[in-house]
Structure 1
Amino acid sequence: MIGILVAALTFFSTSLGGLAAVRVRDRMHLLLGFSSGAVLGVALFDVFPELISRSRSAGIEVSQAMLFVAVGFLAFFLLEKFTSLHHGPGHGHEHGRKSTDVGMVAAAGLSFHSFLDGVAIGVGFKTDLKLGVAIGIAVLAHDFVDGLNTVTIVLAHGNSLRRALRWLLLDALTPLMGATVALVAPLPSGILPYILGSFVGVFVYIGASDLLPEAREHDSPWPAAATVAGMGLLWGVTRLI
């Protein structure tokens, strides 16, 4: 039940991100920096230690589970590569791509991405309350940026604001769908380390390759401080819960 409630909060996080893309842009680098730190923090301070612990208790070689870290990382690299997701705020015109279809394909990719975020929340809460809360916080921060990117990309490729808001609604609903599927579906303990490994790879990719470069584009030291704050928050959460 808690997992569903946390996933439901991502609806508001994603929606706020999309509305921010329309109305507020001068502080986005700080939000991107904080989100990158939060996502990296949950990968390094919570999911990765849980991966090692669950692998040992299941009698699985850690090196085997680590293979799925690479799988998760590469899967999201390919997802961005083939759906043109890596445009971030302000990048829509830089490549001169104006096809409305490209914008919608990218938005569909982001929605699938958000569905997987919901799956991560569901698996986290099925595994351990602390893990679920940590993943939930990271996903809330990250889905704000997903909503931002959804609206930015759809508009940047010549689509109407109404169409952009429709895609934003879909993107906001998919984490709840993903969490519901993960919480209802059976989860054999033997495959849990591999799932956690893939989540580590996904979160490291999102934090280091997707969000952090966007934050680093600004000369101000504040995005770096926001990144440290995001990591520090997740470190604190994993210690306190």
Structure 2
Amino acid sequence: MAVIVALGAFLMTLAGGWTAQRVTDRRHLVLGLAGGLMLGVVGLDLLPEAMRAAGDEVFGVPLALLLFVAGFLLAHVGERLLAVRQAAHGAANGANGANGAHGATRDHVHRAPEVGLTAAAAMVGHSLADGVALGAAFQVGGGMGVAVALAVVTHDFADGFNTYTLTSLYGNARRKALAMLFADALAPVVGAASTLLFTLPEEPLGAYLGFFAGVLLYLAAAEILPEAHHRHPALSTLLCTVGGVAGIWLVVGLAD
């Protein structure tokens, strides 16, 4: 049963990615919505689940929160290191370029493609964890399975939307964005199927979710939302962000 539900998640993920690429003429609205969805997933879905599952405290602080901060910092440090490397590469190859070329180099530095691929890979890992959680819930009992199935299938639309948006935002080719989208769609099916063989312990799963929440928050707050409002500081963009958070809240509430 879990694998069948995961196939529904597969289709919802693809639908989210399809939606993201079909509205490119309203890019600021797409990014505003993606930022809201990511904030909602972090604050209303991932962190509460991580806090419940990760267990022990370390020096007075819950492990999930320590890993949340570590994920945020790692995303920040990783992006800065990539930016420095690409800036050096651009300086070496474009020292004699015109001002327009220099502006293009700076934009390329700000949007290091590796960051987008890494973020999308983290989304795939999150979806894999969703599939494992789905399979484990059906092992516990039918009522739990239905509740988790509702949460997974509905918010996988947001996962697909965010995976395609993150990959393409950082300058990756469309084929790479589609490949990451397909991997994200397939991940819950693989995760659910894996529970037929074994069950991932709850504490490592909670620790991973805390770490991933920190990475996702950094991308939403430092990259997605500033980009959404930079050229189009419109009320409609803000409403899309608020609507994204509200949508995740609705999904979490229905799942409970």
For the superposition of Structure 1 and Structure 2, which TM-score range results when normalised by the shorter chain? 0.7 to 0.9
SS in 1 for 2:200: coil
RMSD: 3.4
Mapped partners of 1:210, 1:179: distance in 2: 27
Q: How does 1:1-241 map to 2 (within 5 A)?
A: 1=3, 2-3=5-6, 5-7=8-10, 9-11=12-14, 13-14=16-17, 17-18=20-21, 24-25=24-25, 27-55=26-54, 58=55, 60-61=56-57, 63-84=62-83, 95-97=103-105, 106-127=112-133, 129=148, 132-133=152-153, 135-149=155-169, 153-154=171-172, 164-176=173-185, 178-179=187-188, 182-183=191-192, 184=194, 187-217=200-230, 218-241=232-255
Contiguous gaps of at least 5 residues in structure 2 = 84-99, 135-147
**Residues of 1 paired with 2:77 and 2:180: CA distance?**
20
Q: Give the secondary-structure state (helix, strand or coil) at the position aligned to 2:104.
A: coil
How far does residue 39 in structure 1 lie from its aligned partner after superposition? 0.8
User: Take 2:182 and 2:53, find their aligned partners in 1: how far apart are those partners?
Assistant: 30
User: Which structure would you say has the larger Rg?
Assistant: 2
TM-score (norm 1): 0.72
Rounded Cα–Cα distance in structure 1 between residues aligned with 2:102 and 2:237: 22
Q: How many angstroms apart in 1 are the aligned matches of 2:234 and 2:155?
A: 29
One-letter amino acid of the counterpart of residue 170, structure 1: A
TM-score with structure 2 setting the length: 0.68
2: CA distance between counterparts of 1:176 and 1:111? 15
> Which ranges in structure 1 are unaligned for 5 or more consecutive residues?
85-91, 155-163
